[in-house]
Amino acid sequence: MQNLQPEKIAKNTLIQNKTLFIIFRQALNYYITVQH
């Protein structure tokens, strides 16, 4: 059971990074749209 823990944490971190990246891109797209 303990062997799975680091993998689970890594997966959660990856999901969080992906979510942050999506939010960042949406914010960037919004900013570009407002500028033009």
Cα separation, 1 vs 11, in Å, equals: 16
Query: Which two structure tokens, joined as six digits, stand for 22?
Result: 């999506």
Is the pTM for the entire model greater than 0.85?
Answer: no
What is the per-residue pLDDT for 1? 54
Rg (C-alpha) for the chain, rounded Å, is 16
Encode pLDDT of 1-36 as tens digits.
566 788 998 999 999 999 999 999 999 999 999 987
